[in-house]
Amino acid sequence: MSFGTLDRQKSTSGLIMVAPSMAILALFVLWPIVQSAYLSLFDWNLLSNKQQYIGLANYAAILGDSRFWNALWTTFYYTAMYVPGLVLVALVLALALDQKVFGRKVLRPMFFLPSITSMAIIAIVWRFILDPDVGLVSSWLSDIGVTMPDMLRNSSWSLPTIAGVSIWRWAGFNMVILLAGLNTIPDSYYEAANLDGAGAFRKLYSVTMPLLLPSLSFVVVTNIIASFQVFDPVYVMTKGGPLFSTEVMVYYIYYEGFTLYKMGYASALAYVLFIVIFLFTLLQLRGFVRGEERVGY
Amino acid sequence: MKTKRTPGMWVLFGLLVVALTVSSLPFLWMILTSFKTDRQILGQPDILLPLQWTLIQYQNVIDQIPFFRFLLNSFIFAGGVTILSLFFDAAAGYAFAKLPFPGRDVMFYLVLITLMIPFQVVMVPLYLLIYHLHSLDTFWGLILPRMTNAFGIYFMRQFFLSLPNELLDAGRIDGLNEIGIYRRIAVPMTTSALATLGVFHFMYNWNDFLWPLLITTSRDMRPLPVGLALFTGEHVQQHGPIVAGAVLSIIPILIFFLFAQKTFMRGIALSGLKG
């Protein structure tokens, strides 16, 4: 079989068309992940520009760094509040708007309006609303005689508040994904359940939930991964404070890398985060593969 | 699907309206507050409606921060990324879907691997790279790493896979070369996919915060979210202008949203796939 002119033209054109993208991805994603591993072996301050190879010393330092353990714990704590809260709100909204309720076509876009806004800008707005002196919520509460704690300057309230704002921002977004999942459930299943005399809760348990499971697990896993990357609301609302109570991993990496300019140490921290995220990504991939098997690819 | 008007549905409707009020309150508050006087903002925060409507906060935001400069920066950054990324994503997606070339599978695996690397993990070396390219605080520095996107390539490939080969062969019979077939036949048939991906790219970059925070160092280079956030850091007391700025910054994306609501919803559902 000869390599025809057409085949040659196709392969040349193909190479020309992927070349720019491959070059960009190689330079700006693949190379940095390799570079990151290399940098993590150095003690390197960008300000003094002293660069010294120290092997795995950065990683050893991380193990003894109480601020790292705090950041890791804070991140997990954030995940533990954000993910269940978000899934619950998004699920309830999706189930409600999947009903043939009056005004659903207008309500759906209204609910995902927060999702089109910038997290940083909306976090500024929330900070004002929650302000203990001139905020809307505290002034309403004080009108009825309730004193609200200073949500963002109180170390036990600060992280739950940030998680709450994130849930508010992302609920509509995930609602749309769950609504798409609900749409794939055939009406005939519900009709069959009706014939069997199943009530609303029975239908929810035995029909809706099992069939929604792929979308639901997708929402859970992607949001766990996203919650490990939280930064914007922390930067805008608390800067990691008070008393490091909101210093999540990405904020700590940012602090070491871009306030202290300790590039080696920040890279090592980033690699530790990468490993944590990667484990959950594998979980997501397993879900994808199983999902594809189910639809028969 | 017909709307049911049973009592249960009216209860559900009522609950949804309550939920919507909670969900929309920040928007309502920021819009109304942007028309209040400083006196009311500081003195009577419990009254939602402006006692005396004023445009002074809008005047203040324009006087105190280079708002239109931030707006322009946001347009150049988000618009530049969107146009370039659509161009490269579509070309690569088409080649992966329709043109056999040596090393195609290996390269496609590399694309999938890059999908699994979060930006936060590579931000330090990426910053150093831009620094070494002497592109800190420039639009190039902001746009360069985003000129293509693994998710975009994957997304476009899926769309091009669904194009029938017979259509492309018809172009070959008419004597078009491969690039011509792509431009004249394949691209015009995927405009809705391109629009969805474009909305996704634009929204993501318009709202992005951490990357422009790292790369821009002078005030005049900052896109809106970074510009407003850093201004708030410096002048915490001035709620009025910040809220007016926040309202103004949401207007462009809101208009975009109102016009392309369907594409937007699809884009939002799809960007969930990005993980």
Contacts of A250 (CB under 8 A, 6+ apart): A228, A229, A230, A231, A234, A273, B120, B210
Give residue B145's pLDDT.
93
Which of B36, B54, B72 is the last residue before a domain boundary?
B54
Same domain, B86 and B144: yes
Minimal-distance CA residue of chain B relative to A273: B121
Q: What is the CATH number of the domain that holds B149?
A: 1.10.3720.10
Whether pLDDT at A290 is above 60? no
**Partner-chain contact B99 A17, CB within 8 Å:** yes
Give residue A183's pLDDT.
83
Considering only residues 83 to 112 of chain A, which have any Cβ-Cβ distance to chain B shorter than 8 Å? 93, 96-97, 99-104, 107-112
**Nearest CB partner across the interface for B125, out of A22, A116, A267:** A267
Mean pLDDT: which of A15-29, A36-50, A142-156 is highest?
A15-29
B9 belongs to a structural domain: no
C-alpha distance from A168 to closest chain B C-alpha (Å)? 7
What span, in angstroms and rounded, lies between the C-alpha atoms of A136 and A131? Answer: 8
Percent helix, strand and coil across chain A, each rounded to 5? 75, 5, 25
Contacts of B77 (CB under 8 A, 6+ apart): B139, B142, B143, B205, B206, B212, B223
Q: Three-state SS for A44? A: strand
Minimal-distance CA residue of chain B relative to A18: B92
Whether pLDDT at A296 is above 50? no
Give residue A187's pLDDT.
83
B106 belongs to a structural domain: yes
**Nearest CB partner across the interface for B124, out of A102, A136, A266:** A266
Whether pLDDT at B64 is above 80? yes
Same domain, B42 and B110: no
CB A102 within 8 A of CB A124: no
A30 belongs to a structural domain: no
**Partner-chain contact B23 A114, CB within 8 Å:** yes
B158 belongs to a structural domain: yes
Same domain, B50 and B98: no
Q: Cβ–Cβ contacts within 10 Å for residue A137, how many?
A: 18
Same domain, B125 and B74: yes
Same domain, B32 and B75: no
Mean pLDDT of B134-156: 93
Residues of A in contact with B129 (CB under 8 A): 27-28, 31-32, 35
Same domain, B35 and B122: no
Given CB atoms, is A11 within the 8 Å cutoff of chain B? yes
**Partner-chain contact A270 B121, CB within 8 Å:** yes
Q: What is the CATH number of the domain that holds A119?
A: 1.10.3720.10
Measure the CA angle with vertex B243, ends B238 and B245; round to 5°: 105
Measure the CA angle with vertex B201, ends B99 and B215; round to 5°: 115
Whether pLDDT at A112 is above 70? yes
Interface probe for A, chosen from B71, B121, B168, B242 (most Cβ of A below 10 Å), is B121
Give residue B163's pLDDT.
87
A28 belongs to a structural domain: no
B2 belongs to a structural domain: no
Give residue B275's pLDDT.
35
Give the tens place of pLDDT for each residue, B87-133.
999 999 999 999 999 999 999 999 988 888 889 989 999 999 999 99
At residue A21 the predicted structure's pLDDT band, cuts being 50, 70 and 90, is: very high
Whether pLDDT at B238 is above 80? no
At residue A194 the predicted structure's pLDDT band, cuts being 50, 70 and 90, is: confident
Beta strands A50-53 and A42-45, pairing class: antiparallel
C-alpha distance from B125 to closest chain A C-alpha (Å)? 5
Mean pLDDT of A89-105: 87
B224 belongs to a structural domain: yes
**Domain count across chain B:** 2
Contacts of A209 (CB under 8 A, 6+ apart): A216
What span, in angstroms and rounded, lies between the C-alpha atoms of A41 and A110? Answer: 49
Same domain, B32 and B141: no
Minimal-distance CA residue of chain A relative to B95: A14
Q: Mean pLDDT lowest for which of A77-91, B5-19, B40-54, B233-247? A: B233-247
Give residue B196's pLDDT.
86
Give residue A204's pLDDT.
85
**Nearest CB partner across the interface for B229, out of A124, A180, A221:** A124
A176 belongs to a structural domain: yes
Q: Note the ipTM here.
A: 0.88
Give the tens place of pLDDT for each residue, B189-217.
888 889 888 888 998 899 999 999 999 99
Q: Cβ–Cβ contacts within 10 Å for residue B212, how many?
A: 22
Give the tens place of pLDDT for each residue, A198-220.
888 888 888 888 888 888 888 89
Minimal-distance CA residue of chain B relative to A46: B128
Residues of chain B with pLDDT > 70: what percent? Answer: 92
Q: Three-state SS for B119? A: helix
Give residue A131's pLDDT.
85
CA B149 to chain centroid, in Å, comes to: 13
Whether pLDDT at A293 is above 50? no
CB B99 within 8 A of CB B158: no
Give residue B127's pLDDT.
94
At residue B267 the predicted structure's pLDDT band, cuts being 50, 70 and 90, is: low
CA distances to A17, B42, B96, B171 from A4, in Å: 20, 77, 20, 18
The amino acid occupying position A149 is P
**Domain count across chain A:** 1
Give residue B237's pLDDT.
63
Contacts of B67 (CB under 8 A, 6+ apart): B61, B227, B245, B248
Considering only residues 246 to 275 of chain A, which have any Cβ-Cβ distance to chain B shorter than 8 Å? 250, 253-254, 257-258, 263, 266-267, 270-271, 273-274
| Dihedral over alpha carbons A15, A17, A18, A22 (to 10 degrees) | 110
Contacts of A190 (CB under 8 A, 6+ apart): A203, A207
**Nearest CB partner across the interface for B124, out of A138, A171, A267:** A267
At residue A145 the predicted structure's pLDDT band, cuts being 50, 70 and 90, is: confident
At residue A169 the predicted structure's pLDDT band, cuts being 50, 70 and 90, is: very high
Q: Which domain holds residue A246?
A: 57-294
What span, in angstroms and rounded, lies between the C-alpha atoms of B38 and B244? Answer: 12
Q: Cβ–Cβ contacts within 10 Å for residue A58, how many?
A: 24
Give residue A3's pLDDT.
53
At residue A2 the predicted structure's pLDDT band, cuts being 50, 70 and 90, is: very low
B195 belongs to a structural domain: yes
Same domain, B50 and B130: no
What span, in angstroms and rounded, lies between the C-alpha atoms of A214 and A295? Answer: 11
At residue B2 the predicted structure's pLDDT band, cuts being 50, 70 and 90, is: low
Given CB atoms, is A280 within the 8 Å cutoff of chain B? no
Q: Look at chain A and count its residues.
A: 297
At residue A15 the predicted structure's pLDDT band, cuts being 50, 70 and 90, is: very high
What span, in angstroms and rounded, lies between the C-alpha atoms of B37 and B43? Answer: 10
Mean pLDDT: which of A82-91, A235-244, B234-243 is highest?
A82-91
Same domain, B117 and B253: yes
C-alpha distance from B69 to closest chain A C-alpha (Å)? 17
A270 belongs to a structural domain: yes
Give residue B236's pLDDT.
52
Backbone angles phi, psi at A150, to 5 degrees: -75, 90
How would you class A147 by CB atoms within 10 Å of its CB: exposed for 0-12, middle for 13-18, buried for 19 or more?
exposed
A171 belongs to a structural domain: yes
Mean pLDDT of A170-194: 87
Residues of chain A with pLDDT > 70: what percent? Answer: 94
At residue B227 the predicted structure's pLDDT band, cuts being 50, 70 and 90, is: very high
A188 belongs to a structural domain: yes
Same domain, B186 and B255: yes
CB A226 within 8 A of CB B275: yes
Give residue A292's pLDDT.
41
What span, in angstroms and rounded, lies between the C-alpha atoms of B83 and B204? Answer: 13
A98 belongs to a structural domain: yes
Same domain, B82 and B113: yes
Q: Which domain holds residue B40?
A: 24-54
Given CB atoms, is A238 within the 8 Å cutoff of chain B? no
B1 belongs to a structural domain: no
Residues of A in contact with B275 (CB under 8 A): 221-222, 225-226, 281, 284
What span, in angstroms and rounded, lies between the C-alpha atoms of B57 and B172? Answer: 61
Residues of A in contact with B254 (CB under 8 A): 116
A168 belongs to a structural domain: yes
Given CB atoms, is A276 within the 8 Å cutoff of chain B? no
Residues of A in contact with B118 (CB under 8 A): 225, 229, 273-274, 277
**Partner-chain contact B45 A139, CB within 8 Å:** yes
Mean per-residue pLDDT over chain A, rounded:
87
Same domain, B72 and B98: yes
